[in-house]
Amino acid sequence: MIFHIAHLRNFPPADAITQTVLLTVLMLIPIALLVPARRLPRG
């Protein structure tokens, strides 16, 4: 999906990889914030 969109926009491979990495990081940030919150004991 990501590479298909990048292909439609005629991005160079480097920009396509950068876009993929940025989208992956954006998806991992909420998970990284939620996981420690779930591990903490709730008082």
27 against 4, higher pLDDT: 27
Give the CA distances from residue 20 to residues 4, 8, 12, 33, in Å, rounded to whole numbers and listed in that order: 11, 14, 12, 20
pLDDT computed for residue 8 by the predictor: 54
Q: How confident is the model over 21-42, as a mean pLDDT?
A: 85
What average pLDDT does the structure give for the chain?
76
Q: How confident is the model over 9-24, as a mean pLDDT?
A: 79
pLDDT computed for residue 24 by the predictor: 93
Banded pLDDT at 27 (limits 50, 70, 90): very high
| Contact (CB, 8 A) for 23 and 2 | yes
Alpha-carbon span 27 to 23, nearest angstrom? 6
Classify 10 in phi/psi space as left (phi over 0), alpha (psi -120 to 50) or beta.
left
